[in-house]
Amino acid sequence: MGSGTGSNAAAICAAEQSDNVRYHVTLVIASRPDAGIIDVAKRYDVPHEVVQWDAQTRAAGTEHLRNVLRTYAIDVLVLAGFMKLLPVEIISDLHGHVLNIHPALLPAFGGKGMYGIKVHEAVLAAGATETGATVHLVTEEYDEGAILAREIVPVRPDDTPNSLQERVKAAEHRLYPRIVDEFARSHAISTPS
Ligand code: GRF
């Protein structure tokens, strides 16, 4: 599920085709009708749904998302560039099987307002010598759940926010499919048919 370009979704779909993974991508959920992640779904021939809400329609949006997850019998919800807080009902419906990826080494450079290029700007402003990607469980707070894995990316003296973002994304694309696969295996998620 995501709101953006869907490069992580693409990496997860690609690994399903090329590697011996335990997971199956049943559905792509976009939180806006113009999200690039929809094109990823089409490219990999995965069904997609758009589920969106704002402050006024949050309850209806939550119900819609619940129904979609139930209809497709989703075991694990993998967030990849989802820009809102996930309603707590969804996390409890899925027994906590909700993963997210963050483009920094949590707990550093996480929390509200820390997303996209802002994360890499903050890393450079702080003079950090390394950054990376973190896969973690999702709770009702931003970037707070248990950390499942991290991949370190060195910061180079000539890095710009954009160059850093590009290198961190490459790390995300290696890390996320592997951790989704490990999560599916270790939680005995039903074998795809
Ligand atoms: C990634 O950098 C991820 O860490 C963050 O949002 C971005 C999503 O990028 N949560 P993409 O849509 O997968 O390209």
Say what the pLDDT of residue 10 is.
98
Q: Is the CB of 110 under 6 A from ligand 1?
A: no
Q: How many angstroms is it from 63 CA to the middle of ligand 1?
A: 25
Model confidence pLDDT, tens digit, residues 51-109: 999 999 999 999 999 999 999 999 999 999 998 889 999 999 999 999 999 999 999 99
Task: Answer for the pair 106, 100: CB distance below 8 angstroms, yes or no.
Answer: no
> Of 48, 97, 102, 173, which residue is the catalytic one?
102
- List the one residue out of 34, 23, 32 whose CA is nearest residue 1: 32
What does the alpha-carbon distance between residue 19 and residue 8 come to, in Å, rounded to a whole number?
Answer: 16
Q: pTM of this prediction?
A: 0.94
Is 102 among the catalytic positions?
yes
Identify the helix (H) or strand (E) that includes residue 30.
strand 28-30
What does the alpha-carbon distance between residue 120 and residue 160 come to, in Å, rounded to a whole number?
Answer: 8
